[in-house]
Chains A and B, each alone.
Chain A
């Protein structure tokens, strides 16, 4: 599958914001951005065994002076709730980009509860959310939520809606 424009723009926006560390749990919706990160020698790309690890590796990295971001799927949001307590309490900036499941056009009912619960779970832990529905919203969202995170020391999440990602693409990617 070819890289589409908003994915290229997401990668460029991350780099413009000085983000050179990307933690992820592999996800079809993020696959192209992960590939671009891995292809860039200046970006460290770390596969995490669970999403909560990524939140605390990013926290440790920031204590060491480095800016990172976490790429995950909405089903993985359930794994980071308690992990967010630490950066929340210590005012350590966190930036996550979440590909949404369980909404617009979803074919798998098992994905629905966590997908629908994602915004409330993140907000309950003090995260600031921005939801992107259109491709043109993604790059500005990455730039501005990165500023909010790192300049104002906030926990920030960009939710990439399933309408934006295209529910049908998941079936293609899964082949």
Chain B
């Protein structure tokens, strides 16, 4: 094995890593916002809204991400939306991430004892305040470990955007493998960088969990 050529290609790997982190981070945030909305639909008292939420979660969790990306990548231009491949990738990863995060958040909300909401209502708090001050903070604290786990899965699944032509870390290593004719070393590089990124996320997640436990004193 000879890794020397890798150092001459470090620029490509860097761009790839940057795009992987960029798409993952934006999709995580967009997915969270959209996921919170879907979760609220799912938990609402209106029957039709519940069904819409249920349909969304079922469809976007049921269809493989690769198929989803191909669908979005070819469908958007057909319905008149022209965005770059990186834009399509962000849309694809976000809508799927939202479905997973909605389910995680739902678990968090449902774990909160209903007596707390009743008590708050007795004290005359508005529904908005109950949501923002009582439900959301507790739900977030409970679901943090799952959200970090989901972020790791998202980072890994972002590798599929290489199939629709985004120069992410996977695509960069493919390009290096093709130009250097050394696939073993090129893909090992990508694997090591992914491993590093996922390890970093799980370490960050663990310390975040500790801090939350300290701050909130959440009884286990």
| Same complex | no
- Residues of chain A touching chain B, judged by Cβ–Cβ distance below 8 Å, are none
